[in-house]
Amino acid sequence: MKILRPLTIGLLSLSIAISLFIGYSDHSMKQTIQGFEQRIISSAKSFSLPDATEIQALPQPVQRYFAFTFPNGFPEQKQYVVVKMQGMFRRPLTQSFEPTTARQVASFTRPDMVFSASTPIFGPIWADVYDRFIEGEMQMEAKLLSAFSVVHEDKNPSLNQTSLRRWLLESPTYPMALLPGGIVTWHAIDDTHALAVASAYGIKAELIATFGPNGELLSFDATKPGDLTTPYHGSGERVSRSDFQLVNNIRLPMSFEISRVGKDAIAHPFWRAKITDIHFAP
C-alpha cells in the first residue's frame, strides 16, 4: 500500500500535467489561427463593381455564370468571407475518411486566406490543422492534440503558387472575387469551359472551369497533374460543387468534393463536405 499510494499520486500528477499541457497547446494554436484571421480581416478591402462593358467582354459561359450567381444584381460592397464546413476528410497517404469540421476566412481583392480544421485520428486522439496564405507566403501546420507537430511546411515558391491556386479553387464560395477588375482574368475555351487565371504577389495560378447549362460553375480543374506522394494535399487538383442555394441574393454551391488528380487523371477525393454557415462582411 505504501508503494501504491505514491505511484497513484505520481500518475495523477502526470495526467494533470499532460492535460494542462494539451489545454495550453490547444489555446495557443487557436490564438495563432485567430491572429492570422485578424491579419486578413484588417487588410481586406472592398471589391469594385464591374460595369456592363466589362461583363460583356467576358467569355459567354462566364457571363452566364455571373447572371446565375447574382440573379438580383451584384451585392453590396463586401471585403471578406467566413465559411464553416462539416464533412468527411481523408488524410494524405491514407484511405479512410473521418468526420471533420473546418473554418475558412478569405479576402476578395487580395488572395489571402486561412483554413483550419479538426479531425479525429483514433480513439481520443485528434489532429488540428491550419494552412494560411498571406501576402504571398504560405505556412502549413498539423498537430496531434494541438501539441505535437506532425506536418510543418513553410513558404517556398511551389507551395506559395499552390496556395494561390487554393484561393482560386475555393473562390466559388466568394464569387465576388471572380468578377472582372480583380486579380482573376477569364480566357475563353468553348461554350462550357473557360480558363481562370489569378495573378498576385508575382505569382500566377490557373484552373479550368466547367459550367452547367444554367450557368452554374460545376467544377474547377488544374491544368497540370499533381504529385500524390506529398505529405499534404495542398489545393487538390479538382473540385466539384453542387446544391446551389440563394444566400443573401447570391447563388452559392453548398456542397463540394475536392480531389487529388495525378498523371493517370483519376480523381482521388479527400474532402467531401457541406457549408454549414457562410457570412460575408463587413
124 vs 198, more confident: 198
pLDDT, residue 153, reads: 87
Average pLDDT estimate for 85-111: 95
Query: pLDDT tens digit string along 163-186?
Result: 999 999 999 999 999 999 999 999
pLDDT, residue 155, reads: 82
Q: Which of the residue ranges 16-30, 52-66, 100-114, 179-193 would you say has the lowest mean pLDDT?
A: 16-30
The rounded distance, in Å, linking the Cα atoms of 171 and 121 is 29
Which H or E element spans position 14? helix 4-43
**Of how many residues is the chain composed?**
282
Average pLDDT estimate for 240-264: 97
pLDDT surpassing 90 at residue 21 = no
56 vs 156, more confident: 56
In 3D space, the residue among 78, 92, 68 whose CA is nearest the CA of residue 41 turns out to be: 78
pLDDT, residue 222, reads: 98
Handedness of CA 150, 155, 159, 164 (dihedral sign): positive
pLDDT band at 127 (very low <50, low <70, confident <90, very high): confident
Summary mean pLDDT of the chain: 91
pLDDT, residue 10, reads: 60
pLDDT, residue 249, reads: 93
In order of their start, the domains of the chain are: 4-281 (2.50.20.10)
Query: pLDDT tens digit string along 184-199?
Result: 999 999 999 999 999 9
pLDDT, residue 19, reads: 62
Percent residues over pLDDT 90 in the chain? 74
pLDDT, residue 152, reads: 83
55 half-sphere exposure, CB direction, 13 A CA radius: 14
pLDDT band at 5 (very low <50, low <70, confident <90, very high): low
Query: pLDDT tens digit string along 208-227?
Result: 999 999 999 999 999 999 99
What's the pTM?
Answer: 0.89
Sort residue 202 into left (φ over 0), alpha (ψ -120 to 50) or beta: left
pLDDT surpassing 90 at residue 80 = yes
Label the pairing between strands 125-134 and 193-200. unpaired
SS3 content of the chain, % helix, strand, coil (to 5): 25, 45, 30
Neighbours of 124 (CB within 10 A): 7
Q: Which amino acid is at 269?
A: P
Residues 6+ apart with CB under 8 A from 47: 77, 78, 79, 108, 109, 176, 177, 179, 181, 182
pLDDT, residue 11, reads: 58
